[in-house]
Amino acid sequence: MSRRSVLCGVLVALAVPGGLAACSSGSTPSGTTTGGGTVPGGGATTPAGPPIIAALADVPDGGGLIAGNPANSKPLVLVRTGDVVKAYDATCPHQGTAVSPPENGVITCPNHGSTFNAADGAVTKGPATTGLKEVPVKVEAGQVVPA
């Protein structure tokens, strides 16, 4: 799935006025951060070929964002500390709602309020009873890619 397809799907789903213009045959939008800290990803590749999840520069140091997953349709929550990025399946283990990007070291599920430690994905407050599943990623040439 191309970055453009992911972006178009997100824009259509959110019914953003003028969002369909991004689906035209013009240039591909860059991986810029949107208002909610979300960066669609999963379509571009590095020169060597691995799919790009996000540019390291787009992941706030000490924070994170939600990004597309090039391996499947499940979103990832990326958490950055310096040049180190960890990724977790952004699906809350309680009822499958997508979690929010980390704030102050905490990832929160907006559905029922479960919270998770951004450093290791461990559940810190229920109703979820298990933590977020870590997804292996690495930083290569300034890009976050699957490990």
Q: Is the dihedral of CA 120, 57, 136, 13 positive or negative?
A: positive
pLDDT at 71: 85
Asked if pLDDT for residue 90 goes beyond 90, the answer is yes
3: enclosing H helix or E strand? helix 3-14
Is pLDDT larger for residue 104 or for residue 38? 104
Encode pLDDT of 32-70 as tens digits: 333 333 344 444 544 557 899 999 999 999 999 999 998
Mean pLDDT of all residues in 87-93: 97
Number of domains making up the chain: 1
**Are the beta carbons of 51 and 42 closer than 8 angstroms?**
yes
The answer to whether residue 73 is domain-embedded is yes
Residue 73 has what pLDDT? 87
What Cα–Cα distance (Å) separates residue 105 from each residue in 57, 61, 110, 132? Answer: 19, 11, 16, 14
pLDDT, residue 47, reads 57
Asked, for residue 90, whether it belongs to a domain, the answer is yes
Query: Residue 75 — pLDDT band, cuts 50, 70, 90?
Result: very high
* Within a domain: 22: no
Percent of the chain with pLDDT over 90: 63
Q: What is the pLDDT of residue 44?
A: 52
- The CATH number of whichever domain residue 122 belongs to comes to 2.102.10.10
pLDDT tens track for 6-32: 444 443 344 333 333 333 333 333 333
Which residue has better confidence, 91 or 18? 91
- Structural domain includes residue 44: yes
Mean pLDDT value across the chain: 78
Q: Where are the alpha helices (DSSP H) in 15-126?
A: none
Domain that holds residue 47: 32-146
Taking 60 as the threshold, does the pLDDT of residue 4 lie above it? Answer: no
Separation between Cα atoms, residue 86 and residue 143, nearest integer Å: 13
Segment 115-134, tens digit of pLDDT = 999 999 999 999 999 999 99
